[in-house]
Amino acid sequence: MASSSEKPETITGGCLCGSIRYIATFPPDHDFTDSSTTCQCEQCRKNTGSLIFHSHKLPKSAVEFTSKSTLKLYSATPHFERGFCSNCGGLLFWQRDHGEDICLTVGCFDRPVLEKYGPLLTSAKRHLFCEREIPGVTDHLQGDKYPGDCD
């Protein structure tokens, strides 16, 4: 595990079957805490199968897909896209179709990345769509809670 002050310059990740792979390079001034978010909207819950979805925001220009032959985009909401693998179904990111940022799914980061930097990459203090909290199940998050999309 990394020391509390150690931050990655790059990380790697990809889908379950390995047909989509990427390298993310963090800008020198990257705010890891502000870039880490959870979401409890029904779309994220249903798309991931998780009660609470964790993502990490970066500039789109910071993410290089080294393999993406099976990458497909799905828009459940106008102007928002979710990137997934058409082979294994793995969800890799969501983004605004004309925005400058991409929110990578933390669960798709490679295991060595999570083992070394997991606490830093999941230190979410911003929690979105908390009006959809499930009492006694997902209402325990600490930090700034937003009823809907705060961007």
104: domain CATH number?
A: 2.170.150.70
Range of the domain at 127: 10-145
User: Does the residue 46 lie in any domain?
Assistant: yes
pLDDT confidence of residue 44: 77
Those residues of the chain that have pLDDT short of 70 are: 1-4, 126-133, 138-151
pLDDT confidence of residue 107: 93
Model pLDDT for residues 101-133, shown as the tens digit of each residue: 999 999 999 999 999 999 899 887 766 666 666
Nearest to 63 by CA among 32, 28, 93, 29: 93
Please give the model's pTM, rounded to 2 decimal places.
0.84
Bridge partner residues of 53 (DSSP): 39
Number of domains present in the structure of the chain:
1
User: Does the residue 4 lie in any domain?
Assistant: no
User: Does the residue 18 lie in any domain?
Assistant: yes
